[in-house]
Amino acid sequence: MFCPLTQTPGAQCSGTARPPVFFPAKGIMKKRTVLIIDDDLLWHRLIGRFLADTGYKIYTAATCADGVKLAALHKPDCIVLDFHLTDGDAVCVCSAIKADAELKKIPVIIFSSDPGAEPIAYTQCQADNFLLKGVEALQELSATIEKTLHPIFSVQPDL
């Protein structure tokens, strides 16, 4: 006789056994969180919907002040930040985030319609990435977030 609960040959099946151990399927992980800070309602909704559809948990803010508050409250995995906001700019937001010991390691991607903001995004904001708003950039955003969260380092041999 074989008891399927205990998986022991010759054992009587008593109906009690160790509970089964389940391992999460490969690739199932904690849902990544993204904070979107953008004052343009159209982009705000578009980015949020697109990222939610690709599996991210989304928090949104329309101002610098609300963005910094939500970053402190939720500690997202990544921040997607418009450069120009109604109450300031990305420099203000990044300065506040980089000054906070609990937030300073959160990667920031500047997602702006201002191509002139790119050098400032890297120098003053210390952004991890910059994308110029548009359909192509929106399609690249999820991959950019993943590359930012999981950078691939290559080692080049000394020549």
What does the pLDDT profile of the chain (159 residues) look like in tens digits? 434 434 445 544 444 444 433 333 444 456 899 999 999 989 989 999 999 998 999 999 999 999 999 999 999 999 999 999 999 999 999 999 999 999 999 999 999 999 999 999 999 999 999 999 999 998 999 999 999 988 765 455 555
6 DSSP 8-state letter = T
pLDDT of residue 157: 55
Q: Note the CATH number of domain 33-149.
A: 3.40.50.2300
pLDDT of residue 156: 53
Q: Where are the alpha helices (DSSP H) in 58-128?
A: 64-74, 90-99, 118-123
**Quick one: CA dihedral 57, 49, 70, 43, positive or negative?**
positive
Structural domain boundaries in the chain: 33-149
pLDDT of residue 3: 41
| Residue (of 31, 91, 81, 89) closest to 61 by Cα position | 81
pLDDT of residue 63: 95
What's the predicted TM-score (pTM) here? 0.76
pLDDT of residue 133: 94
Judge contact between 102 and 96, C-beta under 8 A: no
90-99 vs 64-74: helix axis angle to the nearest 10?
A: 30
pLDDT of residue 13: 46
State the Rg of the chain over Cα.
23
